[in-house]
Amino acid sequence: MVEKYKSEHLYEWMVTVRRILHQHPELAFKEVETAKILMAELDKLEIAYNYNGPGNAVIGRLPCKHPAAPVVALRADMDALPGTENTGLPFAACMKDKMHACGHDAHMTMVLGAAALLKVSPPPCHVLFIFQPAEEKGGGARVVLESGALQGVSAIFGGHVTHHYRVGEIMVADGVITAQSDRFSIHIKGKGGHGARPHEATDAIVITGLLIAAMQTLVSREINPVYPAVVTIGTVHAGSAPNVIAAEAILEGSIRTTLPEVRDRIHNGLKRMARAMGELHNAKVEIDITQGYPPVVNTTRETYIAYRAAQKVVGHAGLMTLDHPSMGSEDFSYYLQKIPGCYVRFGARRHENEYIPLHSPEFDINEEVLKVGAAFFDEVVREAAQEFSS
């Protein structure tokens, strides 16, 4: 077989590390064993690191002999998801209630692979290897930023595996690539009563039905159709018996948008509809909206750096662009609010025509993607060093 990627010789080691990480999934901010596995590998590579105790972040450092050289950061997320793995893999999760269903085991391994390549042949810049806790929940990126560990970083790069592309394909796109994700909960307080005497009650379930129908017009009638937006009601809880009018109902849902003005319009629209529906039907309707991760907005200069690196690794044929942002979300966005950078996607499906969504109990990757990711992260650091020193 022709040696295709610079990281080819690391493959066996990367597969071993990825499988160990895969077997030991840990939830957000509980990545203690994961941190230990990473530190053991960094020790073997003779790369110094800081372990950020309770946050579990591990930050490896490869210093440059020129102190004034730029600092380039690579970021991998560490956490797994709740849920039972159903892959049947020999290295499936040891425990029944957690699994690496989002490929973060692969991301950590790719950054370790890049660390191995960069250690052997150091680039003309300082490199930080950021292993970040709690991407899925809790915004670990913010914790890392607030720790001050990224002060002086010139650019940051990260990536995610996906079944949308084949192995050997890297998606690089400028600008907005993921959505802002917010949550809402609506509490409808009516008046309970006997199912036969509606005139004595205020039926929270009828108000819920009307409100759900009204909310469907928010995106379809109030948002410019060229801008993406989603309002999903994920849970509805109300009622206790067939012949009892429900006094209360609780709805919960998710809002996805890519522009602040669209987000504000949906937030205001939801509040307006909740208030109006309460007034219309003589109930108390409370709404609570929690802002989630902001959109990932890649910066242009760093996107071109990533583009050149990807082209070196997978050639023209492997370079993918994005027609439209994903409506998923990612806390890499917090870094990009402070530091220029680019977030990419690595094709990882195992067979042609296979599509297993992230977060599904069957999720697995084609491990060949580890080579692509490691080679890309190595190359992007070198490209960035060159760009910033020229």
Is 102 or 246 the residue whose CB approaches Ni ion more closely?
102
Q: Of the listed pieces 98-106, 112-120, 174-182, 318-326, which binds Ni ion according to CB under 5 A? A: 98-106
Contact flag: residue 110 with Ni ion (CB under 5 A): no
Place of tokens 């960035």: 384
* Interaction of residue 101 with Ni ion, rule CB under 5 A: no
Closer CB to Ni ion, residue 159 or residue 190?
A: 159
Q: Is the CB of 279 or the CB of 362 nearer to Ni ion?
A: 362
Site for Ni ion in 202-231 (CB under 5 A): none
**Count of residues interacting with Ni ion (CB under 5 A):** 1
**Token code pair at residue 88:** 């049947």
Min dist CB 135 to Ni ion, Å, is 6
Q: Is 46 annotated in the active site? A: no
> DSSP string spanning 99-167?
E--SSHHHHHHHHHHHHHHHHHS--SSEEEEEEES-SSSS-HHHHHHHTTTTTT--EEEEEEEETTS-T
In the DSSP assignment, the letter for residue 300 is: H
Q: Judged by CB, which is closer to Ni ion: 123, or 373?
A: 373
**Could you give the CA distance from residue 219 to residue 217 in angstroms, rounded to a whole number?**
6
Task: Check if 51 is active-site.
Answer: no
Structure-block tokens of residue 91: 């290295």
Minimum Å gap between C-beta 205 and Ni ion is 37
User: What is the SS3 assignment for 51?
Assistant: strand
Say which DSSP state 9 is in: G
Q: Should residue 102 be labelled a site residue for Ni ion when binding is judged by CB under 5 A? A: yes
The nearest distance, CB 122 to Ni ion, in angstroms, is 30
Least distance to Ni ion from the beta carbon of 346, Å? 12
Site for Ni ion contains 287 (CB under 5 A): no
Catalytic residue among 293, 307, 335, 343: 293
Side-chain-side CA neighbours of residue 9 (13 Å): 4
Q: CA-to-CA distance for 342 and 251, rounded, in angstroms?
A: 36
Residues with active-site annotation:
293, 367
Residues that bind Ni ion (CB under 5 A): 102
